[in-house]
């Protein structure tokens, strides 16, 4: 079975090779480290980068929620793929010649399931987690998530539907994390005060 949107993936990956600058840029963005590290650095900047006490505390709660959402989203995808063994279709590079060429040129050939996209679940989970506490500060995280996920489609690693599924999981997990934080509210407060005592908040 192929993904319902396989035609879109085939068209996007057929663009690879027509613009070397685009290929280099999107291949760099698609790698496993650059965008996740960029996201982590941005959240680290938000954690320490403001002097206003009210805004600072709001950002701290948002970053806690974003970090928790990222971790829970990764766990959810792992359970779905590894424990339940949900794997509805092969990756694009296993089906389309253009996607195979794209993955060979820009990425590598992952062996884990295509749906849902773990990259989308984690990055959108973090973005939605911060959004629930500070909308404006979450905009760069959403930009990172969109760029990262598009690059994975361009590189023949995911179908657009894989991204949509991952983003939906990320959003749901962010709401779950938000609710869990409020349910266990004394615990986040305790860790935040502990961080303040050692000058980490």
Give the pLDDT of residue 1. Answer: 67
Cα separation, 30 vs 23, whole angstroms: 10
Give the pLDDT of residue 108. Answer: 92
99: nearest Cα among 37, 12, 3: 12
Task: Tell me the pLDDT of the chain averaged across its residues.
Answer: 93
Establish how many alpha carbons lie within 13 A of residue 138's alpha carbon, considering only the half-sphere containing its beta carbon.
23
Give the pLDDT of residue 3. Answer: 78
Tens of pLDDT, residue by residue over 154-190, are: 999 999 999 999 999 999 999 999 999 999 988 888 8
Of all helices (H) and strands (E), which one includes residue 16?
none
**CA angle 168–173–179, rounded 5-degree value:** 135
Between the CA of residue 152 and those of 42, 91, 108, 109, what are the distances in Å? Answer: 21, 11, 11, 12
Cα separation, 190 vs 173, whole angstroms: 23
Segment 104-108 shows an average pLDDT of 94
Cα separation, 11 vs 31, whole angstroms: 21
Cα 105 to its chain centre, rounded Å, is: 23
Tens of pLDDT, residue by residue over 17-71, are: 999 999 999 999 999 999 999 999 999 999 998 778 888 889 999 999 999 999 9
Cα separation, 79 vs 65, whole angstroms: 21
Cα separation, 3 vs 143, whole angstroms: 25
Give the pLDDT of residue 201. Answer: 66
Number of H helices, E strands in the chain: 9, 0
Give the pLDDT of residue 33. Answer: 93
Cα separation, 153 vs 30, whole angstroms: 9
Give the pLDDT of residue 88. Answer: 87
Whether the pLDDT of residue 118 is over 70: the answer is yes
Whether the pLDDT of residue 87 is over 90: the answer is no
């Amino acid at each position: 079975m192929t993904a319902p949107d396989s035609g879109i993936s085939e068209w996007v990956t057929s663009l690879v090779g027509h613009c070397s600058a685009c290929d280099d840029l999107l291949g760099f963005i698609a790698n496993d480290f650059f965008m996740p590290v960029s996201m982590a650095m941005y959240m680290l900047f938000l954690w320490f980068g403001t002097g206003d006490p009210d805004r600072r505390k709001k950002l701290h709660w948002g970053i806690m929620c974003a970090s928790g959402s990222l971790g829970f989203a990764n766990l959810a995808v792992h359970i779905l793929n590894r424990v339940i063994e949900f794997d509805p279709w092969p990756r694009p590079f296993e089906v389309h010649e253009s996607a195979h060429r794209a993955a060979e040129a820009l990425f590598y050939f992952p062996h884990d399931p295509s749906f849902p996209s773990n990259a989308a679940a984690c990055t959108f989970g973090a973005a939605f987690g911060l959004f629930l506490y500070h909308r404006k500060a979450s905009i760069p995280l959403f930009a990172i998530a969109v760029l990262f996920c598009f690059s994975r489609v361009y590189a023949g690693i995911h179908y657009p539907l894989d991204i949509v599924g991952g983003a939906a999981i990320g959003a749901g997990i962010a709401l779950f994390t938000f609710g869990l934080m409020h349910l266990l509210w004394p615990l986040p407060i305790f860790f935040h005060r502990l961080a303040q005592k050692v000058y980490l908040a």
